[in-house]
Amino acid sequence: MQRRNLLQWILGAALGATLATGAVAQDKPIKIGVTGGPHAQIMEQVKKVAAKDGLNIQVVEFSDYVQPNAALAAGDLDANSYQHLPYLEAQMKDRGYKFAHVAFTVTFPMGVYSKKIKSLDQLKPGARVGVPNDPTNGGRGLLLLQSKGLIKLKPNAGLKATPLDIVENPKKIRIVELDAAQLPRSLDDLDAAAINGNYAESAGLSPTRDAIAMEGPKGPYANLIAVREADKNKPWVAKLVKAYQSPEIKQYITSTFKDSVITAW
């Protein structure tokens, strides 16, 4: 009897100490989907910060832009952190997802890269230029090419511009639409390509060091954390946002990625 009472006292004391620190971790981990590269690296650091607040995170890595949203909708993930708002809104409209974005994270400047030329002025007539094949990032790439004077789009093309919206193309550039993750590996076969910052970083390319052109710092392409609409007010979401937007993570991003990745909060 005395032994049982002693054991109960020890367990009670341990529980009380844990409650006092506020670091009660849930048994089931919160699964967060990310794409490889900086998103995954940053979330691994967020995981460490969140653990101090009792939030147990499991980072799940994907190799494309489509599956993290499909997995979130199916309940295989609790959140994802890899996409910007125009892409999320397009996915919700096209696929009927009931998602909510709960915090902005980082911006990856899109750049134009090439293994064959040192400036866009060196593009020859009929050059093959790659852009992402998803609606929002493809439009982003075309807008970048337009901002550098290579093409001109219809005035109302907006963020979802496609090659069909090109109304002026003096050099008769051939636009090659490829999966965003494939573009860095396709530079040998292309004259140039507009590549998202996260995939450029994963391929060892730096926007400030290697890009021959880069979009400006202001724009609608800040990335975000998405959750199912029904979960947006749950306590773990607030803890996740707090951990991500903490001074520790801001310092990590700045020191690790310099100006290749910009915090958006």
3-state secondary structure of 148: coil
The answer to whether 220 and 84 are in contact (CB under 8 A) is yes
Q: Whole-angstrom Cα distance, residue 227 to residue 217?
A: 26
Specify whether the backbone of 123 is left (phi greater than 0), alpha (psi in -120 to 50) or beta: beta
Q: Whole-angstrom Cα distance, residue 107 to residue 96?
A: 26
Asked if residue 2 belongs to a domain, the reply is no
pLDDT of 11 = 45
Among residues 199, 214, 229, which one ends one of the domains? 214
For residue 141, give the nearest of 186, 105, 183, 171 by alpha carbon. Answer: 183
Token code pair at residue 5: 């009472």
Token code pair at residue 178: 């490829």
pLDDT of 43 = 98
pLDDT of 17 = 43
Structurally, the chain folds into a number of domains equal to 2
Q: Whole-angstrom Cα distance, residue 16 to residue 20?
A: 6
3-state secondary structure of 172: coil
Q: Which domain holds residue 154?
A: 111-214
Q: Please indicate, yes or no, whether residues 128 and 202 belong to a single structural domain of this protein.
A: yes
φ, ψ for residue 128, nearest 5 deg = -95, 120
Asked if residue 14 belongs to a domain, the reply is no
Asked if residue 10 belongs to a domain, the reply is no
Q: Please indicate, yes or no, whether residues 139 and 182 belong to a single structural domain of this protein.
A: yes
Asked if residue 13 belongs to a domain, the reply is no
pLDDT of 16 = 44
Q: Please indicate, yes or no, whether residues 104 and 225 belong to a single structural domain of this protein.
A: yes
Asked if residue 19 belongs to a domain, the reply is no
Q: Please indicate, yes or no, whether residues 169 and 204 belong to a single structural domain of this protein.
A: yes
Q: What is the CA radius of gyration of the chain?
A: 22
Token code pair at residue 40: 């995954």
* Residue 146 neighbours by CB distance under 10 Å: 17
Asked if residue 159 belongs to a domain, the reply is yes
Q: Please indicate, yes or no, whether residues 115 and 210 belong to a single structural domain of this protein.
A: yes
pLDDT of 128 = 98
Q: Please indicate, yes or no, whether residues 104 and 117 belong to a single structural domain of this protein.
A: no
Q: Please indicate, yes or no, whether residues 232 and 142 belong to a single structural domain of this protein.
A: no
Q: Please indicate, yes or no, whether residues 166 and 200 belong to a single structural domain of this protein.
A: yes
Q: Please indicate, yes or no, whether residues 199 and 166 belong to a single structural domain of this protein.
A: yes
Q: Whole-angstrom Cα distance, residue 203 to residue 35?
A: 13
CATH number of the domain where residue 62 is located: 3.40.190.10
Among residues 214, 231, 255, which one ends one of the domains? 214
Query: pLDDT digit of tens for each residue in the chain (265 aa)?
Result: 444 444 454 445 444 444 444 444 457 999 999 999 999 999 999 999 999 999 999 999 999 999 999 999 999 999 999 999 999 999 999 999 999 999 999 998 899 999 999 999 999 999 999 999 998 899 999 999 999 999 999 999 988 899 999 999 999 999 999 999 999 999 999 999 999 988 998 899 988 899 999 997 677 889 999 999 999 999 999 999 999 999 999 999 999 988 788 899 9
Q: Please indicate, yes or no, whether residues 115 and 199 belong to a single structural domain of this protein.
A: yes
Q: Please indicate, yes or no, whether residues 118 and 166 belong to a single structural domain of this protein.
A: yes
Asked if residue 59 belongs to a domain, the reply is yes
How many CA atoms within 13 Å lie on the side-chain side of 31? Answer: 15
pTM here is 0.75
The answer to whether 165 and 154 are in contact (CB under 8 A) is yes
Q: Please indicate, yes or no, whether residues 250 and 164 belong to a single structural domain of this protein.
A: no
Contacts of 27 (CB under 8 A, 6+ apart): 56
Asked if residue 11 belongs to a domain, the reply is no
pLDDT of 220 = 85
